Chain A
Amino acid sequence: MAKRLKAAERKASILAVAKVLFADKGYHGVSVDEIAKRLGVSPAILYQHFPSKEALYEEVLSENSAKRESYIEAILTEPTDFVSVLKRMTSIYVESVSSDPDFLRMELMSALEGSHTATSFFERRWRSITDYIEYSLNELRAENQLTRINSRIAGLMYQGMLREVLYTKYITEDVRYKDMPLETMIDELVKMFVMAIDK
């Protein structure tokens, strides 16, 4: 018999196990029974804490959102030119993904499954970076410091490159990049991005 836990501890352990399973198999690939089995408790115990699988899934996501990256430092720290701020924002984002790559798997799974809650959650997370790029490039273009590029597509391009690096490091674990530190890959990526948008 599973040892008795306090309600808060029990809830935390359910969330931790559910996160790993959702990351591995997606929302549809995991049943409440399976999560309960993994925890060594009856499904009834799970339902005492979460009314449904969906509620549990949402709570796993919101746990992550509570730790949402703060970009205040990135914005306020000198120097405040576009590239410096972008680098700092990218570091903050990459750090949060590195500290919990399960969310990267959940993101990928949710994109395939079309779960609205999850996709809008991850989209919002990316938008901090893509909106910053779009807004700043529009400003720079107005000051005639840029070539005629589509700022929104530039944001998408950056998101695509950054996400691919993170997938390579944390999901596919491609051996060709095994010895290349993540920071080096990000630095290269930023460099190429700047070359692409520069006048």
Chain B
Amino acid sequence: MSEITQELDARGLNCPLPILRAKKSIAGLTTGEVLRITATDPGSVKDFEAFCKQTGHALVSSTEDNGAFVFDIQKS
């Protein structure tokens, strides 16, 4: 399991804001570092899959925890 470098609280935000904020946070990381995003928008599951596919970053894990969706994304 990779260590989390930074966390982003995107709870309560609607698509596409979690993606927009994740994009900005990842820009500040170096390769291999991991950003953990917590979101509540159910659409974010598909959105982050698409985001990683398009940007080439690795979706290390995508889980649901008590109504919140948690994504760990490793910068490529």
Contacts and interface: CB of A to CB of B under 8 A. Distances in A.
Interface stretch (A50-58, A72-80, A140-148, A186-194): A72-80
A74 B16 contact: yes
Contact of B23 (A73, A75, A127, A128): A75
A131 B10 CA distance: 13
Interface string B29-55: 000000000000001001100110011
A89 B14 contact: no
A71 B13 contact: no
B1 interface: no
B60 interface: no
B20 A135 contact: yes
Nearest to B48: A72
Contacts of A70: 15, 46-47, 50
A28 interface: no
A119 to B, nearest CB: 15
B75 to A, nearest CB: 15
Contact of A131 (B17, B46, B51): B17
Contacts of A135: 17, 20
A76 B19 CA distance: 9
Interface in A131-154: 131-132, 135
Contact of B43 (A68, A89, A131): A68
Nearest to B22: A75
Contacts of A127: 14
A135 B46 CA distance: 22
Nearest to B15: A128
Interface of B: 13-17, 19-20, 23, 43, 46-47, 50-51, 54-55
Interface of A: 68, 70-76, 89, 124, 127-128, 131-132, 135
6 contacts: A72-B54, A73-B54, A74-B16, A128-B16, A132-B16, A135-B20
